[in-house]
Amino acid sequence: MISSSTLYPEPAADVARKSLVSRIGMEHQWRCPGDEAADTAQRGNILVSRWTRNDTQPIEVVNPGSAACHCFAMNLKCTSLTFSHAGRTLVRGRVTAGALQITAPEVACRAVFESPGDVLHLFVSQQVLSECFEDTFGRPHAGDIRIDDPGLVRDPALERLGQALAVSQSDDAALGKVFTDSVSLAIVSRVIVRHFTAKDRQTREASALPLWRLNRAIEFVDAHLAEPIGLADIANSTGLTRMHFASQFRRATGMRPHEYLLRRRIDHAQQLLRESKHNVLDVALSCGFRSQAHFTTVFKRLVGETPYCWRMKANVDR
């Protein structure tokens, strides 16, 4: 069980005049922001909290589900875990930073973290979902909104918003509150748009890649990060054609195969930069990049800073 200090949010008030979002607090237990904070979320706020662990030993965490709120879980760092939703295993293996998972109210979840983890949780009330829907589509939703699609979502816009929300903890209190409000509402609105526009085309979409095939693809990618592998190589590891594999992989993960490969190479590069003394060129070549320039370009696009700057900051934080 993770021990850390908890920050309790201010009482909620009228959403037109006061903050919709409580400040980010650290969770003592996975997906458990505390009774006072949870009550605040149920009264019409978005509650934002963060669960972290640095221990490398496996840990099992269980949550019965929020009584009234959807839980948006944004993965902030690459981790390995098994995740079960309503008794069904959805993930078994590595999950990259930026992956989002949504759990509807009163749905139990279980996770076994095999490596350190850092997850941002947004507990979103029905009131906030309804207001975001009406603001987005210009009409109220008929009845309560329930987003009952627990598969991992990969969306570059959501990933950037989640990263921005995570760093807002260190901002000036007054500015941070406004910033947290805006970013949290943007995340909810983006999810609303994705969910309700996706429903119109679900019958035309490919089925998701089965878990056993997804694990084969992930294992193949992890075993060949330093090699110039292509779509055909990954597809062959699952026994599918390139076309069928690409569409099913994207349905299962929210990412195109080449996007996932780049993300895993950058995840591995971050590990090498943090834990080894290899120079940047050696790290680039070890992760399958043709040159240091190519590596730096991709790293900065996905992480937001150069490998050298990121390594300096990572070493300071250790």
Q: For 223-261, how does the pLDDT look when each residue is reduced to its tens digit (9 = 90+)? A: 999 998 888 899 999 998 887 888 889 888 888 898 899
Q: For 151-184, how does the pLDDT look when each residue is reduced to its tens digit (9 = 90+)? A: 898 898 999 999 888 887 654 444 456 677 788 8
pTM for this entry: 0.65
Q: How far apart are CA 187 and CA 159, in angstroms?
A: 9
Residues 43, 175 contacting (CB under 8 angstroms): no
**Banded model confidence at residue 25, pLDDT cuts 50, 70, 90:** confident
Runs of H (alpha helix) within the chain: 35-42, 126-137, 156-167, 173-198, 211-223, 231-238, 242-253, 257-275, 280-286, 292-303, 307-317
User: Which residues, other chains included, contact 263 with Cβ-Cβ below 8 Å and sequence gap of 6+?
Assistant: 96, 97, 98, 255, 302
Ordered domains of the chain (ranges, CATH)? 25-202 (2.60.120.10), 211-317 (1.10.10.60)
Q: Which among 63, 58, 2, 9 has a CA at the least distance from the CA of 27?
A: 2
Helices 211-223 and 257-275, axial angle in degrees (round to 10): 50
**Banded model confidence at residue 114, pLDDT cuts 50, 70, 90:** very high
**Banded model confidence at residue 35, pLDDT cuts 50, 70, 90:** low
Residues 69, 42 contacting (CB under 8 angstroms): yes
Residues 296, 306 contacting (CB under 8 angstroms): yes
Residues 30, 61 contacting (CB under 8 angstroms): yes
Helices 292-303 and 257-275, axial angle in degrees (round to 10): 100
Pairing of strands 46-53, 25-26: parallel
Q: Which among 159, 85, 90, 76 has a CA at the least distance from the CA of 119?
A: 76
Residues 105, 167 contacting (CB under 8 angstroms): no
Tokens of 74: 């944004």
